[in-house]
Amino acid sequence: MREKERAGEKGSVIEFQSKLPQTPVADHVREILRLLGEDTGREGLVRTPERMEKALRYLTSGYSADVQKIVNGALFDVEYDEVVIVRDIEFFSMCEHHMLPFFGKMHVAYLPGKKVIGLSKIPRIVDVFARRLQIQERLTTQVAETLQDLLSPRGVAVVCEARHFCMMMRGVEKQHSGAITSAMLGAFRNNKETRNELLSLIGPRSQTI
Ligand SMILES: [Zn+2]
């Protein structure tokens, strides 16, 4: 399946092909379990490789998702020039360094130009990029740039607060530290007053993650 993949640089879009692998993931999971010293024949593990493959395919289903199809024409010409905010969008993603979950909330705002987007589409766009192997910084940027491309708004702001299992369960083992990232485009980047006003509305409240 083909999809449009955002490249790191603003404005550039590259096509990339994502093919489902030929070799079943489950076979490799079984091998990993064996290498970890598990008895893959014991009752609790017999179907685990297949379950894990199914879970992994779901958690990475964003690779084959098509933003245009999801938006499905829900762009409307509306005269509205105040900020639109969708706050506290829950997301679950997996860090690309450890393949462990990170999860939290995303707050998305834009200042419409000529178009607005159906509000329910915004969480679905978040899921497209969350259901991939990610780093929080790129996830935040991709959501912002996708809205920029779709709507040509006067500004887009995305603030993301998340907790990372790779920090909580291993490594530094800090259970209560969250990471906050943001992407500001257009008026939210160029106008300090606009940005500050927005941050007071959607600003990070990390104690709520
Ligand atoms: Zn990690």
Reported as a pLDDT band with limits 50, 70 and 90, residue 202 is: confident
Distance from Cα 101 to the centre of ligand 1, integer Å: 8
39 and 129 inside one domain: no
Residue 13 has pLDDT above 80, yes or no: no
Is 166 assigned a catalytic role? yes
22 and 123 inside one domain: no
The structural domain count of the chain equals 2
Reported as a pLDDT band with limits 50, 70 and 90, residue 7 is: very low
15 and 84 inside one domain: no
Residue 133 has pLDDT above 80, yes or no: yes
Helical ranges in the chain per DSSP H: 25-35, 48-59, 67-71, 121-130, 136-151, 165-168, 187-190, 192-202
Distance from Cα 104 to the centre of ligand 1, integer Å: 14
CATH code at position 18: 1.10.286
Which residues are found with C-beta within 5 Å of the ion, ligand 1?
A: 95, 97-98, 166
Reported as a pLDDT band with limits 50, 70 and 90, residue 25 is: very high
Chain-centroid distance of CA 59 in Å reads 11
Distance from Cα 133 to the centre of ligand 1, integer Å: 10
Catalytic residue among 31, 68, 90, 96: 96
* Residues 6 or more apart whose Cβ sits within 8 Å of residue 139: 91, 93, 129, 130, 160, 181
User: What's the domain range around 86?
Assistant: 73-208
Is 173 inside any structural domain? Answer: yes
Residue 60 has pLDDT above 60, yes or no: yes
Q: Determine which of 26-40, 91-105, 169-183 has the lowest per-residue pLDDT on average.
A: 169-183
Is 99 inside any structural domain? Answer: yes
Is 64 inside any structural domain? Answer: no
Is 97 assigned a catalytic role? yes
37 and 121 inside one domain: no
Predicted confidence at residue 141, as pLDDT, reads 98
Predicted confidence at residue 28, as pLDDT, reads 95
pTM of the model: 0.85
Is 96 assigned a catalytic role? yes
Is 47 inside any structural domain? Answer: yes
Is 66 inside any structural domain? Answer: no
